Amino acid sequence: MRPYQFDPKEVSVSIDIGTTKVCALAGRLNEYGKIEILGMGKVRSEGVLRGVISNIEKTVNAIREAVTAVEKQLGAEVKVVHVGIAGQHIKSLQHRGILTRDNAHDEISQEDIEKLIHDMYRLVLPPGDKILHVIPQEFTVDNEQGILDPIGMSGIRLEANFHIITGQITASNNILRCIEKVGLEVADLTLEPIASAESILSHEEKEAGIALVDIGGGTTDLTIFHDGIIRHTAVIPFGGNVVTRDIKEGCTIMPHQAEKLKIKFGSALADEVFDNRIITIPGLKGREPKEISEKNLALIIQARMEEIFDYVLWEIRRSGYDKKLIGGIVLTGGGSLLKHIDILAEYHTGIPTRVGYPVDLLAHGYPEEIATPICATSIGLLKHAFENRDYETAVKMPEKHEKKEPVPHFEELVKDDFETPMSDNDRRGWWDRAFQKTKQWFEAEPDPDLN
């Protein structure tokens, strides 16, 4: 592979620790503001259950393998990474903050908003929880409501509605511990649905109103935007792995066979299976092979996906934005690669649906394996990293040459001869001895620049 020419200060690295895969990406912004992918490592994840780390050692090994692949492509050592956090422990709540200012004539500044946000971190939470994100929504200045950006206005009483996202302290600590065991430093932890939204949704869609449904291996994450602001987040404890388990139990086959069936022949809508082929699965230890109808396979998948979309629709209605989603639903994540899943979602929820691919942020010439909903979170984490460049260099370039000892001066090589008094007779052959000493030094310590 052609070595990349880049400034290490421009590079950021993200890691998506998922239930089914660990994906590490290294990239930089080009002159057009697009992300140029410099390295990618994607390995199977075995130590994560429903988005939460359940085995430290297996997760550490997967992270190390993914980061090593990135380092080989970069030709540099990774030092700092941006990491995502997810799982069914994630919760959200709404809270209102109030700030009474000293002077009504002074303009409201960013410092005033920061004070309100800082106060939100003092909220009393259930034991074991911590605040991950505090997202301001509408502001109120002296009873004037519905203000999105109060900076520059005057007023005594500044109020704000906040969307607060919380998670378990142990879950975030386990992520930090795994990254540290690999020898890396964490720049920050970002909620994975927020990162996915950064790579999939446009500003216009967020303004119009849209629901992003990220169907992962262990969980399905929902994020609702309206007027450009996050209005609702939820985590549904079902994902692609549950569909695989249903196929395994319904067809009485091995888990790896069920996964291959789902990927190669699976459809989320049984009515779209017109050619009802029979799929043959090899039997165990000489037993008869199993024959599975493609239509029956689709019925198993559809039943579980309808249940997931039931939860999604319930959360959308609970948020109060079910009539305000002009942009409809956008599906992403590995589960969105199922055939006809967008049609099933639209039929089941009555909301226009499409599958989102994270290609709008990528520079021209990106690898095909990047342009998939599976990498939406990793690319979103990279974008978040570029917007928060207040950390040390993410990668360290290797030294080109080892430091060489300087070539000794000629007088140092023949120092003894200079210090020894010489008669006229001894002076004969002095130059020959000096030449031999110089020659011996160069043979013992060859200079690479002269070879």
What distance in Å separates the CA atoms of residue 58 and residue 62, rounded to the nearest whole number? 6
Helix 169-181 with 56-74: angle, nearest 10 deg: 50
Predicted local distance difference test score (pLDDT) of residue 16? 93
Predicted local distance difference test score (pLDDT) of residue 177? 93
- Reduced to 3 states (helix: H, G, I; strand: E, B; else coil), residue 190 is strand
Predicted local distance difference test score (pLDDT) of residue 88? 85
Cα–Cα distances in Å, from 258 out to 43, 251, 264, 265, 431?
Answer: 20, 8, 10, 10, 85
Instruction: Taking residues 179-207, report their average pLDDT.
Output: 91
Is the predicted pLDDT of residue 6 greater than 80, yes or no? no
235: which strand partners?
221
| pLDDT, tens digit (0-9, with 9 covering 90-100), for 239-249 | 999 999 999 99
Predicted local distance difference test score (pLDDT) of residue 368? 83
Topology, domain 91-167 = Dna Ligase; domain 1 (3.30.1490)
Predicted local distance difference test score (pLDDT) of residue 173? 93
CATH 3.30.420.40 at 203-356, yes or no: yes
Percentage above 90 pLDDT, the chain: 53
Instruction: Taking residues 149-169, report their average pLDDT.
Output: 91
Contact criterion met (CB below 8 Å) for 332 and 213? yes
Please report which confidence band the pLDDT of residue 96 belongs to, taking 50, 70 and 90 as the band edges.
Answer: very high
Nearest CA to 25 out of 289, 439, 352, 380 is that of 380
